[in-house]
Chains A and B, each alone.
Chain A
């Protein structure tokens, strides 16, 4: 890949007292890439992501997100990234339109821009008929795609997703990944954590974290070759057991 780097990380480390949660990780993410960030629970995924989102200060090391420094320019970074949590993060007692308007307002979009964006999202997701309905009345799959669309309401360079498909059935997950491909085709970079190994196959490149360190980083095909495994699941198990 010869594309521009949107995330660069050099020896990024986070310690809580004696415990090293993230141990000198180094990697790059390229523009328009779907980057899978894998690891068991407690491997340090969330902490690493928090440092990239400007929510947590690194103990040492350096990095840039969208060309901005993760230590000095955290506030600027927040304007350039989108974030989707595993709980979808929509307000259930607000309507579809009100949710879009609120998040548009939070990111400081102009009234005109919010209106345009609302139209765009409603059309794209085919939600015109339920625009005024409360979010809690929508099926899970729709909520998930709406949350994804809203995380991109301010056209961020990168979207961070923290286990966006947790608790969702396989069919809905499949649909959701199509939406992710769609966004990636438009040049959006996707940084996604997951613990579903079949989803790892959908990513352009995958990194696997074990005990705070990145133990493997490559395309799913090359990783399978390297570890002599048929599926990503096997790759993961081989890594974790060593």
Chain B
């Protein structure tokens, strides 16, 4: 029986190695995705252009402007002279954020008067606008602290924040686990559902079913190569994360691999289930994109925080395997916890896998009847 299995796996590798599209998805996509998420999709700002409308034009306002540029987050784009120019800049798209410094800024500042600095941003891009405003507020606060050092009233309450496990708030810490989860899903679920659907399309599945091969063996032979490859690719993504973006693996590496294996099995059973329901590659592709990729990306908490979603979407998020896998990865990689801390997530993933395997087995049986 093992010989038959070997013949099957060898054939499957021929398919993979001879199909450029599959190869591209297998190796091109993970690397591209990590690098794109790493370098392009980032919440950190560097060298954002800032416009200033300075009504004060005194030493203190000049110091404030210099102070804001000192962080490296902002560079001065233009000194505006009128409100009219503000609107023109936003409409033309050349201005992203404008700071308006009021008249008598220096005098009022040292006189400890309440004064207001106006910050105007382009709200059509709310995420960016929010972050930019936060940055400016931080810079203004630190400017105030610097200039009034020692004179601060004694009753002032200071908050001191510390971000555990990711002190620099590097976005890589979030997207590397997320990317691993997505990539494994694409390879295991989408590619296996495609390859099984392809056998149906070309009629070879019919011949295999008439052969003495047990159906279980057909599926196992088809998914094994993808399981092996996806493991290698998960390692590759973790390696890129570690070398290029310095994302650590704090916990046990063995546990991490074991969890990847569990998730691979979950994804494979999903892929097989989809393939039993789709007769063509096109259908398999659409189903995996719609029911796997989109929710895993949008609702798993990978890109958007789950707690801020409407309740119904939160519920949907909770039945997405990727959510639990991302939680597990973050636990093991960033917080360095052992299996006992993520036992709930492991349990849920296992349960999902068992349920999926049951449905796959059942729908496969119905097909044969």
Contact = CB atoms under 8 A, between A and B. Distances in A.
A179 to B, nearest CB: 18
Interface stretch (A25-33, A82-90, A119-127): A82-90
B19 interface: yes
Given A55-B368, A105-B4, A106-B4, A89 B207 contact: yes
Nearest to B218: A106
Nearest to B214: A75
B212 A79 contact: yes
Contacts of B10: 102
B369 A105 contact: no
B210 A83 contact: yes
A20 interface: no
Contact of B212 (A56, A91, A107): A107
Contact of A78 (B11, B14, B211, B368): B211
Interface residues of B, number: 24
Interface stretch (B198-206, B248-256, B284-292): B198-206
B210 A91 contact: no
Interface string B208-220: 1111110000000
Interface string A89-114: 11111100010011111111000000
B15 interface: yes
B202 A92 contact: yes
B7 interface: yes
Nearest to B213: A106
A88 B204 CA distance: 8
Interface in B29-51: none
A160 B11 CA distance: 25
A84 B208 CA distance: 11
A105 B3 contact: yes
Nearest to B210: A83
A83 B203 CA distance: 11
Nearest to A101: B7
A57 interface: yes
A54 B324 CA distance: 42
B364 interface: no
A93 B203 contact: no
Interface string B3-17: 110111011001100
Contact of B210 (A81, A90, A101): A81
Contacts of A93: 14-15, 18-19
B212 A53 contact: no
A211 B204 CA distance: 28
B211 A106 contact: yes
B207 to A, nearest CB: 4
Contact of A102 (B7, B18, B210, B368): B7
B207 A83 contact: yes
Given A75-B212, A102-B11, A89 B204 contact: yes
Contact of A85 (B4, B7, B14, B207): B207
Contacts of B6: 105
Given A75-B212, A83-B207, A105-B3, A56 B14 contact: no
A13 to B, nearest CB: 15
Interface in B350-369: 368-369
B4 to A, nearest CB: 6
A102 B7 CA distance: 6
A65 to B, nearest CB: 12
B210 A55 contact: yes
Instruction: Sort A-B residue pairs by CB-CB distance and give the 10 closest, nearest first.
Output: A105-B7, A87-B203, A83-B210, A89-B207, A78-B212, A85-B203, A89-B203, A93-B18, A102-B11, A85-B206
Given A84-B207, A91-B14, 12 more contacts: A78-B212, A81-B210, A91-B202, A92-B202, A94-B11, A94-B14, A98-B14, A101-B7, A105-B3, A105-B4, A106-B7, A107-B212
24 contacts: A56-B368, A78-B210, A79-B212, A83-B210, A83-B211, A86-B203, A87-B203, A88-B203, A89-B207, A91-B11, A91-B14, A93-B15, A93-B18, A93-B19, A98-B11, A102-B8, A102-B10, A102-B11, A105-B3, A105-B7, A106-B8, A106-B213, A108-B4, A134-B18
